[in-house]
Amino acid sequence: MSALPLGLDEPRIIRVIDLETSGLPDDEGAEIVEVGFVDVLLDNLSIVRQWSTLVKPSKPITPKTMAVHHITNEEVAEAPAFAQVMPYISKGLSEHDLLCAHNAKFERHFLSMFGYRWVCTHKSAMSIWPDFESHSNQACRYELGLALDKALAEPPHRALPDAYVTAHILIECLKHRRALDLVAITESPVLLRTVTFGKHRGKSYEELARSDRGYLEWMSRQDMDEDVRHTVKHWLSR
């Protein structure tokens, strides 16, 4: 399936961004330590630009975090500060263009100063291919059978390789939905298929609704993310 034709007011570029950080969004003082992006042209679904840089945080990266992405304090010692990197993140984009990440909620937290609309390929993949066993970045890569250049796609958990993989997942999504449809999916809660935590981890929500409705009712009273709340409400209403 080829690219869907663009409307007059639609974006022309989606900039696929991946960040490596010194912690999670909920961690106090977590900062960006690497930025990578890949541009996808919407008129022909081609990749036209790739860029990345290390970023020097104001505080040392902890060993626990280094174990994820293997970026060391020595490597970022001479890197530019984020204030120097910021202009490059939006360079070349119009106000109508989009930013994209595989878990856009994560990247949006650290890039909240930018006013672009976002596409989340994780949510998009969940909506388009609900039967995938997993919708992680690397799982989607293999579920979709993407023929990628391994030299560009690896190692995982580094900004540019992850952005490169995500860009190809985005291209597959764009063969089924318009860019602005993906924005709408991103901005709405997604109906989850499988429970990912607790004593019923691995069960489908449909099965849980039949076997332990009380647990669903308990979940409805907890502070869950919007996708879980939406899914629990859906099955309780059934």
Q: What is the DSSP string of 23-71?
A: S-TTSTT--EEEEEEEEEETTTTEEEEEEEEE---SSPPPHHHHHHH--
Are residues 123 and 186 in contact, defined by beta-carbon separation less than 8 angstroms? yes
Look at residue 67 in the predicted model and tell me its pLDDT.
95
What does the DSSP 8-state code read for residue 87? H
Question: CA-to-CA distance for 25 and 43, rounded, in angstroms?
Answer: 34
| Pair 73, 112 in one domain | yes
| Pair 165, 220 in one domain | no
Look at residue 8 in the predicted model and tell me its pLDDT.
56
Question: CA-to-CA distance for 89 and 35, rounded, in angstroms?
Answer: 9
Strands 32-41 and 13-21: antiparallel
Q: Is position 234 within any domain?
A: yes
| Pair 148, 214 in one domain | no
| Pair 90, 201 in one domain | no
| Pair 149, 214 in one domain | no
pLDDT tens string for the chain (238 positions)? 555 555 556 799 999 999 999 988 888 889 999 999 999 999 999 999 999 999 999 999 999 999 999 999 999 999 999 999 999 999 999 999 999 999 999 999 999 999 999 999 999 999 999 889 899 999 999 999 999 999 999 999 999 999 999 999 999 999 999 999 999 999 998 888 888 888 998 888 999 999 999 999 999 999 888 889 999 999 999 8
Sign of torsion, CA 69 71 73 77? negative
pTM recorded for the entire structure: 0.87
Domains in the chain: how many in total? 2
Q: Is position 213 within any domain?
A: yes
Nearest C-alpha neighbor of 119 from the set 73, 176, 160, 180: 180
Look at residue 7 in the predicted model and tell me its pLDDT.
57
| Pair 177, 207 in one domain | no
| Pair 176, 196 in one domain | no
Look at residue 216 in the predicted model and tell me its pLDDT.
93
Q: What's the domain range around 200?
A: 191-238
| Pair 132, 222 in one domain | no
Look at residue 100 in the predicted model and tell me its pLDDT.
98
| Pair 110, 149 in one domain | yes
